[in-house]
Amino acid sequence: MGTTRRRIKVTEGSGNIFADVGIERPEEYLAKAELARQIVGALDARRVTQAEAARILGVNQPKVSALRNGRLDGFSTERLFRFLNALGRDVRIVVSPKPRSRRRARLTVGAA
């Protein structure tokens, strides 16, 4: 019995899933997702409950749950910066000229 091989169409992503699925302001969403990842990592390193995390961050437990589950529409980047500071993390913002080779300037978040 012969096997039939199907070709699967693969499209290479841009590196920003939010841009790939057509979300407005994808750089902002990607930045907030990375900030949230850093916050959750810091909370996990402390091994705190959601109630303890809420106390540390100055929010209620449902907000911690939303943060952990990637529901970030209710959080500004500034608020996420404050959460990182509350967890003993410095936040550094660096502004630099874009390379000539790139058409548009972009927003990125990284960890040191």
Token readout for 23 is 């979300």
The answer to whether residue 97 sits within a structural domain is no
> What is the reported pLDDT for 17?
81
**Interval 11-20 mean pLDDT:** 81
pTM of the shown model: 0.80
pLDDT at residue 106 is higher than 70: yes
* Residue 29 placed within a domain: yes
Q: Distance between CA 101 and CA 89 in Å, rounded?
A: 33
CATH number of the domain bearing residue 34 = 1.10.260.40
pLDDT digits (tens, 9 = 90+) for 64-78: 999 999 999 999 999
User: Predicted confidence band at 62 (pLDDT cuts at 50, 70, 90)?
Assistant: very high
Query: At a CB cut-off of 8 Å and minimum separation 6, what does 9 contact?
Result: none
Which residue range forms the structural domain that includes residue 71? 24-86
For 111, which DSSP code? -
Q: Is residue 38 part of a domain?
A: yes
Domains identified in the chain, total number: 1
CA nearest neighbour of 67 among 91, 93, 47, 44: 44
What whole-number distance in Å separates Cα of residue 2 and Cα of residue 14?
37
The H or E element spanning position 38 is helix 26-46
pLDDT of residue 2: 63
Is residue 96 situated within a structural domain?
A: no
With 90 as the cut, is the pLDDT of residue 90 above it?
Answer: yes
Average pLDDT over residues 23-37: 90
Residue 110, in any domain of the structure? no
104 falls in which pLDDT band (50, 70, 90)?
confident
Question: Tokens 């952990």 sit at which residue?
Answer: 68
Radius of gyration of the chain (CA): 19
Q: What is the overall mean pLDDT for the chain?
A: 90
